[in-house]
Amino acid sequence: MKNIAVIGAGTMGNGIAHTFAQFGCKVQLIDVSKENLHKGINTISKNLDRMVSKEKISEAQKEETLNNITQQIDIPSGVKNVDLVVEAATENEDLKLKIFQQLDGNCSKDTILASNTSSISITQIASVVSNPERVIGMHFMNPVPVMKLVEIIRGYNTSDKVTKTIMELSEKLNKVPVEVNDYPGFVANRILMPMINEAVETLYNGVAGVYEIDTVMKLGMAHPMGPLQLADFIGLDVCLSILEVMHNGFRNPKYAPCPLLVNMVRAGKFGVKSGEGFYDYSESKKAEKVSSQFDSK
């Protein structure tokens, strides 16, 4: 599988495109916004520069990786003759369903269709595709070029052949694929998001401050980053969206988002990407300091 299309040039999409391109795949990076494409390629280039400076890759490998990526602004042009499409658009079910309907009408019947969704049902996504056995979840972790885990989510109709192919492909990307079944939040976010939500509740109830909560979890539980700082890095809007999917899917009040999280998102405080969340990232150096914790050692 050498020809890949990635839909969405945001944080996850450009990371996925970077990873495939670095391992020799020809990648069509698709986004309706030329500005997003430009930002995505710039991010990939900067991350490759960091790898060159750390002598993890050569300058020639950097150029080869960038040359493996072609920018596209519409799905029909970008998904012709590809072996795999990885959708990495915003975590919105209606948007994802529309994208997969387009893919169904424009891809070869043999093209595997994957979603990088972190919580939305793969079975639901596959329901709008004429042959749902080719739909699967590939939930990469952020930052994609560094993090080893890929959750491989089987929908109700996902075939054994497609699952085996994607597991093997993930290993070729030097990732560790873990197969999980299709339930809200899968494994990673089913465990992570309630922890983040509980940290927000702890702050909301006045038990301790932001720094104190994160320090307890970092020093007491050996987490590399506290849950509130991690929420800022993920995006508070993304955390809220995942919790809402889980709350609606399980109908269990334990997944109900904390009112403080809801209000922060309503106020436009999304974390690192908006300049403010539980921490203040208004100065670029502060944002860089947080991001640098995710550089490979």
Taking only the tens place, the pLDDT of each residue in 36-81 is: 999 999 999 999 999 999 999 999 999 999 999 999 999 999 999 9
Catalytic residue (one of 18, 87, 139, 197): 139
Catalytic residue (one of 151, 197, 241, 247): 151
Taking only the tens place, the pLDDT of each residue in 94-121 is: 999 999 999 999 999 999 999 999 999 9
Give residue 135's identity as a one-letter amino acid code.
Answer: V
Instruction: Report the pLDDT averaged over residues 203-213.
Output: 98
Catalytic residue (one of 14, 68, 189, 274): 189
| 131 tagged catalytic | no
Q: What is the mean pLDDT of the chain?
A: 94
| 53 tagged catalytic | no
User: What are the start-end ranges of the H helices in 136-293?
Assistant: 160-172, 188-204, 210-215, 221, 227-234, 236-250, 259-266, 284-292
| 139 tagged catalytic | yes
| 118 tagged catalytic | yes
